Structure 1
Amino acid sequence: METDPGVDVVLPCLDEAGALPWVLERMPSGYRAIVVDNGSTDDSVAVARSYGALVVEEPRKGFGSAAHAGLLAATAPIVAFCDADASMDPQELPRVVRPVLDGRVDLMLGRRMPTSSSAWPLHARIANFELARRLRRLTGIDVHDLGPMRAASRTRLLGLDLQDRRSGYPLEMFLRAWSDGWRIEETPIGYSPRVGRSKVTGTVRGTYHAVKDMSALLSSIRATVLMEATS
């Protein structure tokens, strides 16, 4: 496989010892895995280190806390994000990264395409569909998924000054990038059943809290945009 220079991959992690070997073995050449442990009680940290990943420990709970800790630890020019639960194949990362490396896209999103009916629970798909519809209406960007696999310049991501530390982190990244005039596109990636128990979209309760976080953030950003447009 062709090697892409200077790519760090942030993998937020909470009890993913069963999935990490497959994920880390499939990391493309030239891509450094940064596993951000968010309070695991299993052997996730030991497994990650045994496969040569850089391990960052983030005690503050929340997906955004883990993702941002990984961004702060990254040193490569390009930073990608991916789930650590084996639902996404790291071998697909170059498809997300290369348009950013080539300078054609500022933020590339991986649009999840389920590989089986059990990969994406119905309640999570419905919530994602509605969120994407609202984002298309607000931004005019032809986005269909706000999935976790994505890539952008590390320096520019830091410049967004992201504040959300919960489920709204991916949404805040998208909205702040759009507000700053970034070129945002998406490309299809496979989405398979995860290994182990889902903490967010695999449960109705987790999906509810994610939707609640994102709805509040979306309303706040929309209000800001409207104020700027009328000022």
Structure 2
Amino acid sequence: MKTVTTSTAPPDVDVILPCLNEAEALPWVLERIPPGWRALVVDNGSTDGSAELARALGATVVREQRRGFGAACHAGLTAATAGTVCFCDCDASLDPALLVPFVHEVRDGDADLVLGRRRPQGRGSWPAHARVGNLALARMLRRRTGLRLHDLGPLRAARRSALLGLDLTDRRSGYPLQMVVRAADAGWRITEHDVPYLPRAGASKVTGTWRGTWQAVRDMRRVLAEAPRASAAPRGPLRGGTVR
């Protein structure tokens, strides 16, 4: 695994940022969106003025009333218009500028789906219970698909049309995992790269507690129990479901 570095940003990219009460983190996140890319902040019921702040900072705001991480992510995906889309948490734990080489990898035809493997930087960036849950899910994913991934983190890039072809249905915490499972079933080439993972701004809505982590694991185990299905293959010559 190698740590990614930034380079010139290709145009025509939408960055989907699911958001629930992230006013504290939004300025940091949005100022790091690569030039020429569009930030799609999906407001999932914020009460702290996140939507208004995001709009004032130049982002496009999409409102999704149905609560759930997957609901927010999919609302952003359907609202996107760019050929390539990225996903990034909106809590300042991940730098969206790190997505530039991810997009190049997709555009160059070297991968269909590129994921960021979180590498914690400093105390408190990734609680022990969240790491344990992530490790358990990675092992279950390996048994289900054969993919040797280390993380199911939110930093990722792919072609919009291909993602829509996966017909993702989970609207809770299982959405990121379902994306990977269905991509693997469709024979996508999936790559993973190390990215710095910083202490988030504010309290986590999902993995900040044991209870939240357990609920996320339950959502994802339900996804892993799905029978393999035929999904739309990505456009282009890549196949094989490999990870590097």
What band does the TM-score fall into relative to the shorter chain? Answer: over 0.9
| Change in CA separation of 1:219 and 1:30 when aligned onto 2, cut-off 3 Å | same
Q: Identity, % of aligned pairs?
A: 60
TM-score by length of 2: 0.89
In the alignment, which residue of structure 1 is the partner of 2:116? 110
Within 5 A, what are the aligned runs for 1:76-115? 76-115=82-121
> What are the residue-to-residue correspondences of 1:1-231 with 2, within 5 Å?
2-221=8-227
Paired letter, 2:215: H
State the shift of 1:182 in Å. Answer: 0.4
Instruction: Give CA-to-partner distance per residue, 1:19-46, whole Å, 9 cap, x none.
Output: 0000001111122100000000001011
Q: Which runs of 5+ in 2 are unaligned?
A: 1-6, 231-244
Please give the alpha-carbon distance, in whole angstroms, between the structure 2 residues aligned to 1:55 and 1:44: 10
| Cα distance in structure 2, aligned partners of 1:219 and 1:7 | 33
CA contact (8 A) 1:171 1:214 kept: yes
Q: Is 2:125–2:200's contact at 8 Å kept on the other side of the alignment? A: yes
The separation in 2 between residues aligned to 1:91 and 1:217, in whole angstroms, is 30
Q: Is the 8 A contact 2:144 2:224 kept in 1?
A: no
Deviation at 1:103, TM superposition (A): 1.0
Q: In 2, distance between residues paired with 1:26 and 1:213?
A: 31
Distance, in Å, in 2 between the alignment partners of 1:59 and 1:130 is 31
So what's the TM-score if we normalise by structure 1? 0.94
Instruction: Provide the rounded CA distance (Å) in 2 between the counterparts of 1:190 and 1:95.
Output: 14
Listed one character per residue, the Cα deviations across residues 162-184 of structure 1 (whole Å, up to 9, x for unaligned) are: 00000000011000100001001
State the 4+ residue runs in structure 1 displaced beyond 6 angstroms. none
Q: Given that residues 109 and 147 in structure 1 are in contact (C-alpha distance below 8 angstroms), is that contact kept between their aligned partners in structure 2?
A: yes
- Residues of 1 paired with 2:154 and 2:227: CA distance? 20
Q: Is the contact between residue 19 and residue 86 of structure 1 (CA under 8 Å) also seen in structure 2?
A: yes
